[in-house]
Amino acid sequence: MTYQQTIAEAGQTFESHWNGIEPENVARMRLQNRFRTGLDIARYTAKIMREDMAAYDADPANYTQSLGCWHGFIGQQKLISIKKHFGTTKRRYLYLSGWMVAALRSDFGPLPDQSMHEKTSVPALVEELYTFLKQADARELGGMFRDLDKAREGGDAVEAKRIEHAIDNYETHVVPIIADIDAGFGNAEATYLLAKKFIEAGACCLQIENQVSDEKQCGHQDGKVTVPHEDFVAKIRAIRYAFMELGVDDGLIVARTDSLGAGLTKQIAFVREAGDIGDQYNSFLDCDEVDAATLGHGDVLISRDGKLLRPKRLPSNLYQFRSGTGEDRCVLDCINALNSGADLLWIETEKPHVAQIGGMVSRIREVIPNAKLVYNNSPSFNWTLNFRQQVFDKWAAEGKDVSAYDRARLMSIDYDGTDLGNEADERIRTFQADAAREAGIFHHLITLPTYHTAALSTDNLAKRYFGEEGMLGYVKQVQREEIRQGIACVKHQNMAGSDIGDDHKEYFAGEAALKAGGAHNTMNQFAAA
């Protein structure tokens, strides 16, 4: 619907005694609030993700990306920046990290990534992110409306028509969110109830992992405990039912497996018949063959192929898998999850290595040809050291002289700018495109980037402001750069909604409106910014 059609539609609803209500003002407010509910957002963004997945299947160069954001303002500024620099938000998403919710958004204070934070704090952040993204729309459209009024007042019909065309083709800041539901925060019913909260807040894509909820660990830490496939599938089904109950039929599920780095399980899977999924899960258990005559009190046994086997059980009452089975278990997890209703996979690896990831994906694609990954370009990896070591090992295998480099200290600044350092940096630069092409990665994300950027920028500001630079530490490193780089929030009153408020005051009170954006507003000092 065009701008003029929206005005006409608004005018059709008017009562004759509604004096002072202008159809164009109503149309503007409707355009600034395009998404009425979180379900509107979930349906809209699910369609975008489905289209992007099809585009990736046609050409892996069409991979997608996101950055993890722990506050609505951070997500808003990210999308404003993307639109400013690239002119479109196409194939750029938001990622909502459970780690950052635990560390930054819990009423308990900072917590480790062990699902101890309040379960509803995550959907609350989904809602907050979309509130800020919708406000970014309202702010930008408000500026376009003011420019339209200025063009009309100046009698510039051509400019007015150009602005109307821009309004008709406006691209929203609202993009898909991949939201972390951890291990589901309880049983399948708890997962279903929580999933509905996520979806009602606007999430079109939920990521769930195959760890035990009450034993949950960060994917990059030790001590991870996985669950049998049937337990995990029940939660995948619970999320799918939640999507379908709420009318988001094309909602997406990312099945994350931590099996590559997890050597423990809490349960021995139930087996109905030899070779079924429970039997396959149990086949990875580390067992000793035993004789019935030598059984100990309290031993737990399983039988296989006519033999009695005793799974190795730890004092924690957990069972351990055989060493070296992580990749096989991971591949089985992925195939079973996709066959049970998941749409995308997440394999948590111990290092960013295209060949390793691609090797597992190739095995999965032998069974499911269009299998695709969401991949964590994790800050838990030492990217510099990992890639310098990869280059070192490659050169050494090729017989190239590496005597100038000490593999154990490749992180050293001494290697910045060297041939090895430069090649490693180039591999880091092209990692996402290479992995999308060679390892089936549809979506690349960084889980915790804005956690780290906030820490780094705050450290730099504190060092300068509280040191000898004083106020210059802020002005030179922050405000001056905001102005010169065109950072929107240099006009922080505008970013917080003062101009939107002024527009509404004028709608409501006409010439009597007491507006904040007058001649004495100090924000006018940034008019050229």
pLDDT digits (tens, 9 = 90+) for 338-395: 999 999 999 988 889 999 999 999 999 999 999 999 999 998 899 999 999 999 999 9
pLDDT tens-digit readout, 198-208: 999 999 999 99
* Amino acid making up residue 471: M
Task: Using CA atoms of 455, 457, 460, 463 in order, give the dihedral in degrees to the nearest 10.
Answer: -60
Active site residue 218: yes
Whether the pLDDT of residue 521 is over 60: the answer is yes
* Amino acid making up residue 316: S
In order, the DSSP letters of 315-346 are TTS-EEBPTT-HHHHHHHHHHHHHHTT--EEE
H or E element that contains 265: strand 264-265
The pair of structure tokens assigned to 113 is: 């990534």
The pLDDT value given to residue 39: 98
Closest to 287 in 3D by CA, of 260, 271, 307, 269: 307
The residues facing 405 across adjacent strands are: none
In order, the DSSP letters of 462-513 are HHHHTTTTTHHHHIIIIIHHHHHHT-GGGSHHHHTTHHHHHHHHHHHHGGG-
Average pLDDT over residues 294-305: 84
SS3 category, 439: coil
Average pLDDT over residues 287-291: 89
Residues 499, 139: contact at Cβ < 8 Å? Answer: yes
Top-confidence residue, 466 or 222: 466
With bands split at pLDDT 50, 70 and 90, how would you rate the model's confidence at 529? very low
End-to-end CA distance of the chain: 33
Whether the pLDDT of residue 59 is over 50: the answer is yes
With bands split at pLDDT 50, 70 and 90, how would you rate the model's confidence at 526? low
The residues facing 308 across adjacent strands are: 303
The pLDDT value given to residue 213: 75
The C-alpha atoms of residue 421 and residue 410 are separated, in whole angstroms, by 9
Residue linked to tokens 């819990």: 106
Highest mean pLDDT of the ranges 96-100, 283-287, 419-423: 419-423
The C-alpha atoms of residue 345 and residue 364 are separated, in whole angstroms, by 10
Whether the pLDDT of residue 510 is over 90: the answer is no
The pLDDT value given to residue 345: 97
Residue 394 has phi, psi (to 5 degrees) of: -65, -45
Q: Which of the residues 69, 204, 218, 287 is marked catalytic?
A: 218
Helices (H) then strands (E): counts for the chain? 20, 14
Reported pTM: 0.92
Which percentage of the chain shows pLDDT scores above 70? 95
**CA-based torsion, 197, 200, 203, 204: positive or negative:** positive
Rounded to the nearest 10 degrees, the angle between the axes of helix 498-509 and helix 23-32 is 150
pLDDT tens-digit readout, 256-269: 998 887 888 988 99
Residues 122, 65: contact at Cβ < 8 Å? Answer: no
Q: Give start and end residues of each alpha helix (H) in 59-174.
A: 72-86, 98-104, 121-153, 157-168
174-178, 345-349, 508-512: range with lowest mean pLDDT? 508-512
Whether the pLDDT of residue 218 is over 70: the answer is no
Phi-psi region of 66 (alpha: psi -120 to 50; beta: other; left: phi over 0): beta
Residue linked to tokens 């051509």: 158
Closest to 162 in 3D by CA, of 148, 150, 172, 149: 148
**Residues 6 or more apart whose Cβ sits within 8 Å of residue 163:** 144, 147, 148, 151
**CA-based torsion, 464, 465, 467, 470: positive or negative:** positive
Whether the pLDDT of residue 37 is over 80: the answer is yes
Q: Give start and end residues of each alpha helix (H) in 246-325.
A: 277-282
Regarding beta strands 264-265 and 373-376, do their DSSP bridges make them parallel or antiparallel, or are they unpaired? unpaired
Whether the pLDDT of residue 231 is over 70: the answer is yes
Mean pLDDT rounded to a whole number for the chain? 92
Q: Could you give the count of Cα atoms lying within 13 Å of 201 in the half-sphere of its Cβ?
A: 26
Residues 348, 376: contact at Cβ < 8 Å? Answer: yes
Distances in Å between the alpha carbon of 44 and those of 13, 48, 87?
Answer: 26, 7, 20
pLDDT tens-digit readout, 161-173: 999 999 999 999 9
Highest mean pLDDT of the ranges 110-119, 294-303, 435-444: 435-444
The residues facing 345 across adjacent strands are: 255, 373
The pLDDT value given to residue 220: 56
Top-confidence residue, 417 or 296: 417
DSSP 187: S
Whether the pLDDT of residue 501 is over 70: the answer is yes
Average pLDDT over residues 401-415: 96
Distances in Å between the alpha carbon of 425 and those of 357, 388, 420, 438?
Answer: 19, 8, 9, 19
Whether the pLDDT of residue 221 is over 80: the answer is no
* Amino acid making up residue 262: A
Closest to 253 in 3D by CA, of 200, 197, 215, 209: 209
